Chain A
Amino acid sequence: MLVLLIVILPVLFASLLVLFQDKHAKNIALLGALANLGLGLYAFFAFKKTPGCSCFYWHTDWVQSLGADFYIKADGINLILILLTTLLVPFIIQSATGRTIQHPKAYFGLILLMQSALLGLFLAKDALLFYLFWELALIPIYLICLVWGGEGRQRITFKFFLYTLTGSLFMLLAIIFLWLHNPAKNFMLSDFYTVGAHLPVKEQLLVFVAFYLAFAIKMPIFPLHTWQPDTYVNAPTQGTMLLSGIMLKMGTFAVVVWLIPMVPMGWQIASKYVVLLSVVSVVYGSFMALAQKDFKRMLAYSSLGHVGLIAAGIFSWNLQGVQGALYQMLSHGINVVALFYVADIILNRMQTDKMQQLGGIRSISKVFSVLFLIVLLGSIALPLTNGFVGEFLLIHGVFQFNTVSAVFAGLTVILGAVYMLRAYQLMMHGETNTLTASFGLLTLNEKVLLSCFAVLIIAFGCFPNIVLSISEEPVKQLLLQVHHISNIK
């Protein structure tokens, strides 16, 4: 019942918005998001005490003729993503304070709708339901980018939509294929594990490729990333936060739960190549970030690099890799949303994020420069920040898989430090020029939000075990399941 409530609550608040005036829209949405955060936190900590509680699953018939059920269930892995989603959405909504937004009711309604879809996706244990939420998450973000985006949004958002839809249609084909091979004729995840594992190797590989297309486009992984930088830059701030903070984790999460355990032999054959592609993503994203002149675009490419490392860790498929990936999903979500908020603060005041034109902001707003620095350090994985835990585990995991890959994957840490610190130097240090002289102090709201991010970054850096302990058992089980099958054959 609890999990159902978590999924449905945002939709309820979204429909509630209709009743209120425009000026209250943000606050009602925030209230809904905070209530859901409460539920998410409660679920997270209650699960540690009583993982067997019946409140953690909800199972009812949905499309009987197909054998599809409405089956959602919380476990150690998806609760991390639930925590991430419920934690970030209040920040995302609150970050719109002080910005003028046309049609706020529709805007915040769509954000909440998106939240519901994402939560449902993470919790789903039925393939058709998973697919439904997968597509459902696409429509709100598409509309958010289309209506509230910047220059040239029609073309850019459409490219984004077509890309992701193409991928997911191949996933649909694979789901239908597995369903037809399932003697029980249902879409249950546990049954799909058995069905997939018993397919001939060649068919497993085909299913792997079909799923991989969908997930790699969503993350994105080189060379399927071309929709990403433009979309990130062009989307409204909240849209970018949703896309980079939560939505790309749909892909990485799905690889852990829906791809590798489903077709172990497919993974075994393809792992070399997909790890290679992920590492290429890391190197490509980092170098591209190094070459950027705009801060927001630099962040987009840096996100490509970071997510490449997450993917490399998962496809290495060992305890450190997968655990690190799960932890890094959480950390990267927090860091990237905080960074895009920083970009929004700068853009809102300066109307530009060309790093060359800025400079000397430090001498105007000390608080801003300190908070920005903490956020930035989290992103470049300094020890005692959340980024460190994840990236350390990830590189450790990739190292076990292949040393050369690990060396290249390690570049993300070095290059990340280079481009991030360079950006900080260009924008914050140096002489104040005529443009940045008008920067002005942070508002209370901006201070509070950035401080919260800073606290989260340090807290998750110091106490990683809160999160890592919850996912350890289920991850071990999945690893065992896959290695068991690939050893037999």
Chain B
Amino acid sequence: MKELLLLSSLGIISLIAEILNLRKLIYPIVILGLLLNIGFCINDLGKNENIYDMLVLDKVSLVFIILTSFISILWFTMARSFFTDETNLSDHFSLVLFSLVGVFILISYKHMAMLFLGVEILSIPVYVLAGSNKRSLFSNESAFKYFLLGSFASGFLLLGITFVYGAVGSFSILQLASSSLLQVGVSKQLLMVGVLLILFAMAFKMSAVPFHFWAPDVYTGAPTVVTSYMATIVKIGAVAGFYRLFGIVLAFYKEYTLVLLVISVLTILIGNVIAASQTNVKRMLAYSSIGHAGFLILGITMLSVSTPFITWYYLLSYTLSSIAAFWVLLLLAPQEEEEDIAIFKGLVKRSPVLAFTMTIALLSMAGIPPLSGFFAKYFVLVNVIYNNQMAIAVVAILASLVGVYYYFKIIIAMFNTADDTGPVLAISTFHKVFLMSLSILIIFIGIVPDFILRIFFK
């Protein structure tokens, strides 16, 4: 409970800080608050707090909240330098903090009303943030598109929840498990359709195929800082929320395994294949994030005891690499509009630190050992092969080879020093230190993947 209160109050503090003329203090306060949040979570790890049968803070939700808070700290540290219009700082921060509350709820809900609330609290601030670059037409388009399509998804979600309530007679997701035994007649069909509608809505939020069409436009149009937020923390929320519900659904209703398999394989394939033909880096990262969503869904579909850890580790690895990649992109192209791969040309000469970090981040996303992305994919593949889905494993591997192709387009550009490449970039020590530590972290959790496992999951 105190974690939820802490996050909400951080948002409110950040909102009124401007009025109280404490703008300079917002950043330290937010970071301290998030650190405190991690502390609370670690302290509560053994307990199983049940909040009015609405939310439950069990081990799984707590480790996901720790992950979210940690990535948020990194995100705030990065974002602070790139909000050009200083007057809006507190608005931005409070919007992000409020949407973090949504992530928190999505991670820990056990009541389907909370699922809906979580999705909405998460999404509405992001709609606003996507359009925060008021003068850019693309930003406006992005916000409008996201909002319009997001509302449809919310409609599906509500309809699905209603159907499930009609069939089961309860909003509790645990009720789904116990009612799997009495599957007869109309209520069974109602239940199946209801869950399917919820699945569509969640797939939309995770940008899974065939509900992914919004993602490239929204990612490209939104300011890069906001895109990085959508690609990382929003994704954690969506995937964790998906796992909460479908971890139960998959265990008791085998019918959905096939549906999810199809969705995940299509998502992996289409995300990676279309990304290969992109020349805009933000768009490419958008499609690549679709591909990663596919791997995440595949990991959850192959439900096993280790699924929470697999999902958690994949998210950690993916979000760390994404933050690093977006950070480099932000430093390289602070003005919007020019995000062609060409801007990376000769980066190794212009700024070795940026090139190094970007290489590590991309190699990790491509799944090259010994970086963290390798084990993330490895854990998923082991489960896939364990379930005798050899064909799917081969498809996933071929798709990630396509991934290697487009990630390497950037790497090759960075190491291309043939012609004159432009002036040396002056990067402040602050950014250098953080980027280097991010790279080292990505390598470290890749070399000893179960170091973290031993801390949080044992």
Across-interface contacts of A161 in B (CB, < 8 A): 404, 408
A135 within 8 A of B: yes
Residue of B nearest to A63 (CB): B450
B376 to chain A, nearest CB (A): 13
Check if A176 sits within 8 Å of B408, measured CB to CB: no
Contact status of A154 and B416, CB under 8 A, knowing A63-B450, A139-B363, A176-B381 = yes
Residues of B within 8 A of A (CB): 306, 309, 348, 363, 368-370, 374-375, 378, 381-382, 385-386, 390, 393-394, 397, 400-401, 404-405, 408, 411-412, 415-417, 448-450, 453-454
Complex CA gap A177/B389 in Å reads 11
Contact of B369 among A135, A146, A180 (CB under 8 A): A135
Question: Which A residues between 79 and 112 are near B, CB-CB below 8 angstroms?
Answer: none
A414 within 8 A of B: no
Contact status of A162 and B369, CB under 8 A, knowing A147-B415, A176-B381 = no
Complex CA gap A154/B378 in Å reads 28
Complex CA gap A66/B381 in Å reads 13
B386 to chain A, nearest CB (A): 6
Across-interface contacts of A146 in B (CB, < 8 A): 411-412, 415
Check if A169 sits within 8 Å of B401, measured CB to CB: yes
Q: What are 10 A-B pairs at a CB distance below 8 A? A: A63-B448, A65-B309, A65-B453, A66-B382, A138-B368, A146-B411, A154-B412, A162-B404, A176-B378, A176-B393
Contact of A64 among B394, B397, B454 (CB under 8 A): B454
Residue of A nearest to B379 (CB): A66
Question: Which A residues between 159 and 193 are near B, CB-CB below 8 angstroms?
Answer: 161-162, 165-166, 169-170, 172-173, 176-177, 179-180
Check if A132 sits within 8 Å of B370, measured CB to CB: yes
Check if B397 sits within 8 Å of A169, measured CB to CB: yes
Check if A132 sits within 8 Å of B369, measured CB to CB: yes
Complex CA gap A170/B390 in Å reads 12
**A62-B448, A165-B368, A176-B385 known, 15 other contacts, Cβ within 8 Å:** A64-B450, A64-B454, A65-B306, A65-B453, A66-B450, A132-B370, A136-B370, A139-B363, A139-B368, A146-B411, A147-B415, A147-B417, A165-B404, A169-B397, A169-B400
Residue of B nearest to A165 (CB): B404
Complex CA gap A5/B350 in Å reads 36
User: Which of B370, B386, B453 is the most central at the interface, judged by chain A CB atoms within 10 Å of its CB?
Assistant: B370
Complex CA gap A161/B268 in Å reads 22
Residues of A within 8 A of B (CB): 62-66, 131-132, 135-136, 138-139, 143, 146-147, 154, 158, 161-162, 165-166, 169-170, 172-173, 176-177, 179-180
Contact of B401 among A63, A64, A166, A179 (CB under 8 A): A166
User: Which of B369, B394, B449 is the most central at the interface, judged by chain A CB atoms within 10 Å of its CB?
Assistant: B369
Across-interface contacts of A62 in B (CB, < 8 A): 448
Please list the 10 inter-chain residue pairs (A to B) with the smallest Cβ-Cβ separation, ordered nearest first.
A135-B369, A65-B450, A154-B412, A169-B397, A132-B369, A63-B450, A146-B415, A147-B415, A176-B385, A132-B370
Residue of A nearest to B367 (CB): A169
Across-interface contacts of B390 in A (CB, < 8 A): 173
Across-interface contacts of B450 in A (CB, < 8 A): 63-66
The interface residues of chain B, by DSSP majority, are classed as helix
Check if A135 sits within 8 Å of B368, measured CB to CB: yes
Contact status of A158 and B417, CB under 8 A, knowing A62-B448, A135-B368, A177-B385 = no
Complex CA gap A131/B377 in Å reads 14
Complex CA gap A170/B385 in Å reads 13
Across-interface contacts of B397 in A (CB, < 8 A): 169-170, 172-173
B80 to chain A, nearest CB (A): 30
Complex CA gap A173/B306 in Å reads 20
Complex CA gap A173/B395 in Å reads 12
Across-interface contacts of A154 in B (CB, < 8 A): 412, 416
Across-interface contacts of B415 in A (CB, < 8 A): 143, 146-147
Check if A180 sits within 8 Å of B382, measured CB to CB: yes
Across-interface contacts of B417 in A (CB, < 8 A): 147
A158 to chain B, nearest CB (A): 6
Residue of A nearest to B409 (CB): A158
Check if A158 sits within 8 Å of B408, measured CB to CB: yes
Contact of A147 among B348, B393, B453 (CB under 8 A): B348
User: Which of B306, B374, B386, B412 is the most central at the interface, judged by chain A CB atoms within 10 Å of its CB?
Assistant: B412
A456 to chain B, nearest CB (A): 34
Across-interface contacts of B309 in A (CB, < 8 A): 65
Complex CA gap A40/B307 in Å reads 44
Across-interface contacts of A169 in B (CB, < 8 A): 397, 400-401
Complex CA gap A158/B408 in Å reads 8
Across-interface contacts of B382 in A (CB, < 8 A): 66, 176, 179-180
Complex CA gap A179/B348 in Å reads 40
B134 to chain A, nearest CB (A): 40
Across-interface contacts of B368 in A (CB, < 8 A): 135, 138-139, 165
Across-interface contacts of B363 in A (CB, < 8 A): 139
Complex CA gap A160/B449 in Å reads 29
Complex CA gap A132/B416 in Å reads 27
A335 to chain B, nearest CB (A): 32
Complex CA gap A211/B370 in Å reads 20
Complex CA gap A230/B260 in Å reads 44
Complex CA gap A135/B446 in Å reads 13
Across-interface contacts of B370 in A (CB, < 8 A): 132, 135-136
A147 to chain B, nearest CB (A): 5
Complex CA gap A132/B370 in Å reads 6
Across-interface contacts of A66 in B (CB, < 8 A): 382, 450
A204 to chain B, nearest CB (A): 15
Complex CA gap A180/B393 in Å reads 14
Check if B408 sits within 8 Å of A173, measured CB to CB: no
Complex CA gap A158/B400 in Å reads 15
A378 to chain B, nearest CB (A): 36
Complex CA gap A158/B393 in Å reads 24
A160 to chain B, nearest CB (A): 12
B172 to chain A, nearest CB (A): 32
Complex CA gap A162/B366 in Å reads 12
Across-interface contacts of A139 in B (CB, < 8 A): 363, 368
Complex CA gap A143/B348 in Å reads 12
B178 to chain A, nearest CB (A): 32
Contact status of A162 and B448, CB under 8 A, knowing A154-B416, A180-B382 = no
Check if B386 sits within 8 Å of A165, measured CB to CB: no
Residue of B nearest to A177 (CB): B385
Across-interface contacts of B385 in A (CB, < 8 A): 173, 176-177, 180
Across-interface contacts of A64 in B (CB, < 8 A): 450, 454
A370 to chain B, nearest CB (A): 40
Complex CA gap A132/B374 in Å reads 10
Across-interface contacts of B378 in A (CB, < 8 A): 172, 176
B389 to chain A, nearest CB (A): 12
Across-interface contacts of B411 in A (CB, < 8 A): 146
Across-interface contacts of A176 in B (CB, < 8 A): 378, 381-382, 385, 393
Contact status of A165 and B369, CB under 8 A, knowing A64-B450, A177-B385 = no
Check if B405 sits within 8 Å of A162, measured CB to CB: yes
A154 to chain B, nearest CB (A): 5
Complex CA gap A139/B453 in Å reads 27
Complex CA gap A136/B405 in Å reads 18
Across-interface contacts of B386 in A (CB, < 8 A): 180
Check if A173 sits within 8 Å of B394, measured CB to CB: yes
Complex CA gap A62/B412 in Å reads 33
Across-interface contacts of A158 in B (CB, < 8 A): 408, 412
Residue of B nearest to A134 (CB): B369
Complex CA gap A64/B375 in Å reads 13
Across-interface contacts of A132 in B (CB, < 8 A): 369-370
Across-interface contacts of B400 in A (CB, < 8 A): 169
Across-interface contacts of A166 in B (CB, < 8 A): 401
Across-interface contacts of B408 in A (CB, < 8 A): 158, 161
A347 to chain B, nearest CB (A): 20
Residue of A nearest to B382 (CB): A176
Across-interface contacts of B448 in A (CB, < 8 A): 62-63
Complex CA gap A232/B262 in Å reads 43
Contact status of A173 and B393, CB under 8 A, knowing A62-B448, A139-B363, A154-B412 = yes
Residue of B nearest to A65 (CB): B450
Across-interface contacts of B374 in A (CB, < 8 A): 135
